[in-house]
Amino acid sequence: MAFYELRQYKVLPGKLDSWVTMMETEIIPFQVSKGMVITGSFQGETDPSVYIWLRRFESEEQRVALYAAVYESDFWKTKIAPRVPEHLDRGAMVITRMVPTPKSVAR
């Protein structure tokens, strides 16, 4: 059964706009090019320290393979990962795996 990964990040003060730009122009397109399914990208309406995004996986095997394709790539290691700490409090990340309920339209 498919499942989702909800990723909630704490953005450093003054960095929300540049983080959203980085997500929308670099991170999401790169991950999609590797096969990730990104179903949503959100920023806090009144709290500029909140950024949330959703990814969908068809199986745990697919998740493992996609994680490897993205996070073990030279592009991720050299171009993306070094810039993440400039934007996020990595220690405050909350990652939640979720499965749709029986009547959810997200099934």
Residue 103 has pLDDT above 90, yes or no: yes
Report the C-alpha gap between 47 and 30 in whole angstroms.
27
Q: In Å, what is the CA distance from 93 to each residue of 12, 34, 58, 74, 86?
A: 12, 23, 23, 23, 14
Confidence of residue 32 (pLDDT cuts 50, 70, 90): very high
Q: In Å, what is the CA distance from 41 to each residue of 1, 23, 61, 102?
A: 23, 9, 24, 24
3-10 β-sheet, strand order: 37-43, 50-57, 3-10, 94-98
Over residues 35-91, the pLDDT tens digits come to 999 999 999 999 999 999 999 999 999 999 999 999 999 999 999 999 999 999 999
Report the C-alpha gap between 107 and 99 in whole angstroms.
8
Whole-model pTM over 0.85:
yes
pLDDT for 107 equals: 80
Report the C-alpha gap between 12 and 89 in whole angstroms.
6
